[in-house]
Amino acid sequence: MTALSPSPTVGSRIAHGFGAFVKARETGILLALVLVIVAATVKNPNFLFSSDGFRDLLLTPSILLLVAVGQAIVIITRNVDLSVGSVLGLTAYLTGRLFIDVPGIPVIAVFAIGIVAGGLLGLINGALVAFAKVPALVITLGTLYAYRGINVLWTGSDRINSSDMPASFLALGTQSILFIPILTIIAVVVLVVAAWYLRNQRGGRELYAIGSDPDAANLYGLKVTQRLLAAFILCGALAGLAGVLYAARYGTVNSQAGAGYELNAVGAAVIGGVAIFGGSGSVWGAAIGAYLLLTINRALPILGVQDFWQRAVVGALIIGAIVLDRVLALRQARRLVEARDS
């Protein structure tokens, strides 16, 4: 590997970095995203070059991006959190109720409460998974039901309307700073911090170790239970943040808010190269996957495909991505065997 060569010059470092970028799994998906945007723009220039088009392009996937980042972190530990959509729905309604029941509550407090509430729901998932040693798939399938049920019970046929929430809060969902929507800025900041932590910090690397081989991680003395709890709390907290932002962005919240987000989030992570077995992938990939999913949804009608076919395209993308990953993994394994034998 070139990384081991002594005292790399600046030039070779850049060349190495470029090589790694070209080979990275995320690049392929980024290329697909660019392709979709270009194709849609050629067909209808307003897709990118009108102020609304540009804003929507950045704004629409931001909420899913937050959820997908949390989901990717959980999947990296060889778990999955199917309850994120229900957590998002609960915190979105909680946000509305806070503004109605506590007049004059500061916006920052609502954010804090939303994130903490999401984190607590994540903690329930994490505790059940980590202590009862039951697969996350089953636990979070159960809490997907239970959280949504609590939401419906609480909400009933009630609905939060935009008139219930202060204008300064709603502005967060629609306004931009320097042409970039505030929502997108929040999402990107979270993404960068999460990516940095997973790549460079001990805790982040331990998540990968746990996902690669939970038993080995345990034998090695890693605090598996603690890390799993942290991953689930983080995932829940991000879904909570997404819920608050959902309320700000859409203005109306009913009992079905966020239904189906779990599949989009898992799909985004898988498309972005986060292996469902855990232990590999990055939040960058999941984020680009989220952008690709929702951008395709918006681009299809422009490209002349009826939007009924969106879900089929999403499914085909997921299948395509995992087949690609499998092919790449087999190729890599063959190359390693050849290198060993030669």
Could you list the residues that contact another protein (CB under 8 A)?
A: 78, 80, 128, 132-135, 137-139, 141-150, 152-153, 156, 214, 255, 263, 266-267, 270, 276-277, 306, 308-316, 318-319, 322-323, 326
Rounded to the nearest whole angstrom, what is the least distance from the CB of residue 152 to another protein in the complex? 4
d(CA 119, CA 273): 26
DSSP for 16-29, written as a single string:
HHHHHHHHSHHHHH
Rounded to the nearest whole angstrom, what is the least distance from the CB of residue 15 to another protein in the complex? 35
Q: Between residues 13 and 331, which has the closer beta carbon with respect to another protein?
A: 331
d(CA 152, CA 157): 8
d(CA 243, CA 326): 34
Rounded to the nearest whole angstrom, what is the least distance from the CB of residue 294 to another protein in the complex? 14
Q: Which two tokens stand for residue 144?
A: 């997907």
Q: Between residues 155 and 184, which has the closer beta carbon with respect to another protein?
A: 155
Three-state SS sequence of 38-94: HHHHHHCCHHHHCHHHHHHHHHCCHHHHHHHHHHHHHHHCCCCCCCHHHHHHHHHHH
Residue 160 φ then ψ, to 5°: -90, 130
Q: Between residues 116 and 146, which has the closer beta carbon with respect to another protein?
A: 146
Rounded to the nearest whole angstrom, what is the least distance from the CB of residue 162 to another protein in the complex? 25
d(CA 248, CA 245): 5
Rounded to the nearest whole angstrom, what is the least distance from the CB of residue 318 to another protein in the complex? 4
